[in-house]
Amino acid sequence: MERQRGIGLIQVAIVMAALAAVAMAALMSMRQERNLFADALARLRGQTVEHQQQRAGQGGAPVAAPAPAPAGVLRKCLIDGKTVLSDVDCTAANPSSRVVKPLDTRGIEPPRAPKAEPAEAGPASMQDKMIEKATR
């Protein structure tokens, strides 16, 4: 009996498990709206996520305290690696901040009751009188 050439079943299982782990991390990144791969790379380099956001400011200089945002403007940004919707915490100076327009929804509307059929006001026909008399 000849031996098979190429990769074995165990090697295929290991490659598929690694591919599934990468796909799972990508889906989790999309759900949490943050880049887990960039966070992992920053940790490998010995940086924290805050350092990475400060470098995105002005050539590596720390970002100065921003002016308060105007009231009533809803913004979406990353704070400590979490997506936040706020009109106070998310400022225009934050590089991940962007304006969000909320949708005006009416919520769940109850079903409308069907309209009642108008009752006949005319005199009952002879057939209706006979049916009524028979059912008594």
| 102 pLDDT above the threshold of 80 | no
**Spatial contact of 120 and 97, defined as CB atoms under 8 Å apart:** no
Where do the H-state alpha helices sit in the chain? Answer: 9-32, 36-45, 49-55, 126-135
**Spatial contact of 76 and 83, defined as CB atoms under 8 Å apart:** yes
Question: Using 50, 70 and 90 to split pLDDT, how confident is the model at 68?
Answer: low
For residue 21, the model assigns a pLDDT of 96
Does residue 53 sit in helix, strand or coil?
A: helix
**How do residues 1-28 score in pLDDT, each as one tens digit?**
687 788 889 999 999 999 999 999 999 9
Query: If you count them, how many residues does the chain have?
Result: 136
pTM over 0.75: no
Higher pLDDT, 48 or 68: 48
Does residue 84 sit in helix, strand or coil?
A: strand
Q: What is the average pLDDT across 83-94? A: 81
Question: Using 50, 70 and 90 to split pLDDT, how confident is the model at 75?
Answer: confident
For residue 122, the model assigns a pLDDT of 63
Question: Using 50, 70 and 90 to split pLDDT, how confident is the model at 62?
Answer: low
